[in-house]
Chains A and B, each alone.
Chain A
Amino acid sequence: KAGVTQTPRYLIKTRGQQVTLSCSPISGHRSVSWYQQTPGQGLQFLFEYFSETQRNKGNFPGRFSGRQFSNSRSEMNVSTLELGDSALYLCATGAGGLGTDTQYFGPGTRLTVL
């Protein structure tokens, strides 16, 4: 079974630009969650999508948005980039719905904002 795929793996942007990250889940997984990982804050939950609907949202500004397509692939968008948005963005996928579900993580997209 193919794992979780994230593209691109690395991105360099400048302040004020916008960026779109992509996550392709493991086949059959309908839940996709996004996390921001930084050395100072650790792993912060951004949002979760299930069957094309946002089911959960973390405490991030509206510049961070996402969506999920009918094939469960998900995209995350960050507009008006700030220096503090530099981070590793991880997506995790799962069958969705149970507290015992294992989340399977992709390798991440490392975003650098200059």
Chain B
Amino acid sequence: AQSVTQLGSHVSVSEGALVLLRCNYSSSVPPYLFWYVQYPNQGLQLLLKYTSAATLVKGINGFEAEFKKSETSFHLTKPSAHMSDAAEYFCAVSVATSGTYKYIFGTGTRLKVLA
């Protein structure tokens, strides 16, 4: 069965430091992968998605992620953290089921940015 694992439920970085949020997936077929961000009291917002085109995907707010098939990973990075990046981040995989697709989400990583 397809699944998504996010390592680290909480990550703290200093403002200006590199952000690295980890996501590993298991899938028997090439996956469609997504990163979403959730700010307090809001729904989820798409940061970026991998759809089997370029393996390095650039998203909004300076985030990017690299699909590595050999490592079954889709880690999210940002070169320099900003205070406004503090939020919860979710990795998700889209899986085919019963003639359609559904999302499976990881358990989320809460990012804290220290001044």
In the assembled complex, which residues on chain B have CB atoms less than 8 Å from the CB atom of A4? 43
Interface size on A, residues (CB 8 A): 25
Given known pairs A42-B106, A100-B32, the reply for A56 and B43 (CB within 8 Å) is no
- Which partner residue on chain B sits nearest A40 by CB separation? B107
Which residues from 91 to 115 on chain B have a C-beta closer than 8 Å to any C-beta of chain A?
A: 94-108
Residues of A within 8 A of B42 (CB): 107-108
Confirm or deny: A45 has a beta carbon within 8 angstroms of a beta carbon on chain B: yes
Q: Which of B45-53, B62-70, B71-79 contacts A (4 or more CB under 8 A)?
A: B45-53
B: number of interface residues (CB 8 Å): 27
Query: CB within 8 Å of B: which of A90-104?
Result: 90, 92, 96-104
Contact A105/B51 with A42-B106, A42-B108, A55-B100 known, Cβ cut-off 8 Å: no
Interface assignment of B25: CB less than 8 Å from any CB of chain A: no
Interface readout for A39-58 with B: 1 if CB under 8 Å, 0 if not?
00011010010100001100
B103 to chain A, nearest CB (A): 6
Interchain CA distance A42-B90 in the complex, whole Å: 9
Q: Can you name the residue of chain B whose Cβ is closest to the Cβ of A107?
A: B43
Tell me the minimal C-beta distance from A93 to chain B in angstroms.
11
Q: Which residue from chain A places its CB closest to the CB of B98 in the assembled complex? A: A56
**Are the CB atoms of A56 and B97 closer together than 8 Å?**
yes
Provide the bound-state CA to CA distance between A108 and B108, in Å: 17
Q: Smallest CB–CB gap between A109 and chain B, Å?
A: 10
Whether, in the assembled complex, A33 has its beta carbon less than 8 Å from a beta carbon of chain B, the answer is yes
Instruction: Evaluate contact between A108 and B43: CB separation under 8 angstroms.
Output: yes
Given A56-B97, A97-B100, A99-B94, A92 contacting B44 (CB threshold 8 A): yes
A98, B101: Cβ atoms under 8 Å? yes
| B41 CB-CB contact with A under 8 Å | yes
Taken together as a complex, chains A and B put the C-alpha atoms of A33 and B45 apart, in Å, by 15
Of all chain B residues, the one with the shortest Cβ separation from A3 is: B43
Check A99/B32 contact, CB under 8 A, given A33-B102, A45-B103. Answer: yes
Q: Given A99-B94, A105-B44, A106-B43 in contact, is the A48-B102 Cβ separation under 8 Å?
A: yes
Chosen A-B contacts, 13 in total, with CB atoms closer than 8 Å, are A42-B108, A43-B108, A45-B102, A55-B100, A56-B100, A92-B43, A92-B44, A97-B100, A97-B101, A98-B101, A99-B95, A101-B101, A105-B44
